[in-house]
């Protein structure tokens, strides 16, 4: 579902001069369909910054043409993993259009086509399976980007938590009827901003990269589009959670950014980078967060496999899963503007 890799702006940092000039890694839409009796729930995790109202509406209209009222607003969940290096132009409200140079139909169509194609492939390949859930702490993959503000909270608020950001990772593990691994959905709160605001390459950033690396690890190195196993690194309450665990440096002075404002006031452009060598910064922190996050998923996944006490088969009615028909699929769709 990769959007325009040139002649458009990247979306997330709201910097109009952050135009797209090439490709780091492709964008993917990973679709999961859960069915219990006649009830369906669709979950799609996409390598985009946001799912806009217009995008959600267009996807639902396409699904209605294909499946009638089977997939609707109340059972289709479209989740962005919040990369700040995906092409913009999918908004229909001016405030959000302005940083990405307006509405860009080529990118909007690529996103819509990719999400719909992912759901179609999942729908066509439903199979019986089971879903398990587990959670655990993942340290060293995130930090608070505004500690000065956080520690100004009331003492009773601070006392409720061990860390200054949410460190809990929750995963859904999906297995087929023959006990083969079909996929995982990981929920962990960290901003998808390892690629900084001076980056000009389209990228799924740390979560997109983690998904690809985890899938390749589970499928002997196969490229994601060819795999039967799907790993979606979804977002949760990322708030002030930054992937810059070593802090941020000011580009202009090489000093750490100020503690009480988290900015570089001496730099008119306020450009910051992770605490790594400049030429390695965006890729090093991306790879580092991926390594920690993927290891965390693997660790929690192993707990599921070995059935520790926190492991639970998902139970319930309607929109939860017991022994359900489950299929997971992923799809990347490269839209050709000449076909529009």
CA 120 to chain centre: 20
Q: CA 282, 285, 290, 291 torsion: positive or negative?
A: positive
Place of tokens 């001496």: 266
- The first and second tokens of residue 73, run together, are 């607003």
> Is 163 annotated as belonging to a binding site?
no
> Is 82 annotated as belonging to a binding site?
yes
Calpha distance 7→20 (Å, rounded)? 7
CA distances from 156 to 161, 162, 165, 237 (A): 10, 12, 16, 21
Q: CA 61, 62, 68, 72 torsion: positive or negative?
A: negative
Are 121 and 115 in contact, with CB atoms under 8 Å apart? no
Nearest to 199 by CA among 82, 275, 98, 86: 86
CB atoms within 10 A of CB 312: 13
Q: Looking at the DSSP assignment, which residues form a beta bridge with residue 233?
A: 186
Binding residues for Zn(2+): 82, 191
Binding residues: 82, 191
């Amino acid at each position: 579902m990769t959007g325009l890799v040139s002649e458009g702006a990247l979306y997330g940092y709201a910097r109009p001069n952050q135009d797209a000039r090439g490709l780091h890694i492709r964008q993917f839409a990973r679709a999961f369909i859960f069915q219990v009796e006649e009830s369906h729930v669709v979950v799609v995790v996409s390598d985009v910054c946001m799912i806009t109202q217009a995008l959600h509406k267009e996807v639902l209209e396409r699904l209605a043409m294909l499946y009638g009222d089977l997939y609707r607003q109340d059972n289709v969940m479209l989740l962005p993993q919040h990369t700040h290096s995906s092409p913009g132009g999918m908004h229909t409200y001016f405030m959000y259009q302005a940083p990405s140079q307006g509405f860009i139909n080529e990118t909007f169509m690529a996103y819509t086509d990719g999400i719909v194609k992912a759901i179609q492939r999942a729908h066509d390949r439903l199979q019986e399976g089971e879903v398990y859930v587990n959670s655990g702490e993942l340290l060293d993959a995130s930090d608070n980007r505004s500690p000065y503000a956080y520690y100004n909270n009331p003492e009773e608020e601070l006392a409720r938590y061990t860390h200054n950001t949410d460190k809990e990772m929750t995963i859904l593990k999906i297995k087929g009827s023959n006990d083969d691994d079909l996929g995982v959905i990981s929920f962990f709160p960290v901003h998808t901003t390892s690629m900084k605001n001076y980056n000009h390459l389209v990228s799924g950033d740390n979560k997109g990269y983690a998904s690809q690396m985890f899938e390749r690890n589970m499928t002997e190195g196969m490229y994601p589009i060819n795999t039967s196993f799907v790993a979606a690194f979804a977002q949760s309450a990322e708030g002030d959670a930054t992937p810059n665990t070593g802090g941020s440096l000011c580009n202009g002075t090489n000093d750490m950014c100020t503690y009480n404002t988290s900015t570089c006031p001496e730099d008119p452009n306020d450009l910051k980078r992770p605490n790594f060598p400049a030429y390695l910064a965006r890729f090093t922190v991306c790879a580092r967060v991926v390594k920690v996050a993927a290891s965390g998923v693997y660790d929690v996944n192993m707990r599921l496999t070995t059935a520790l006490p926190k492991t639970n088969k998902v139970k319930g009615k309607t929109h939860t899963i017991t022994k359900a028909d489950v299929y997971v699929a992923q799809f990347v769709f490269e839209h050709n503007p000449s076909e529009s």
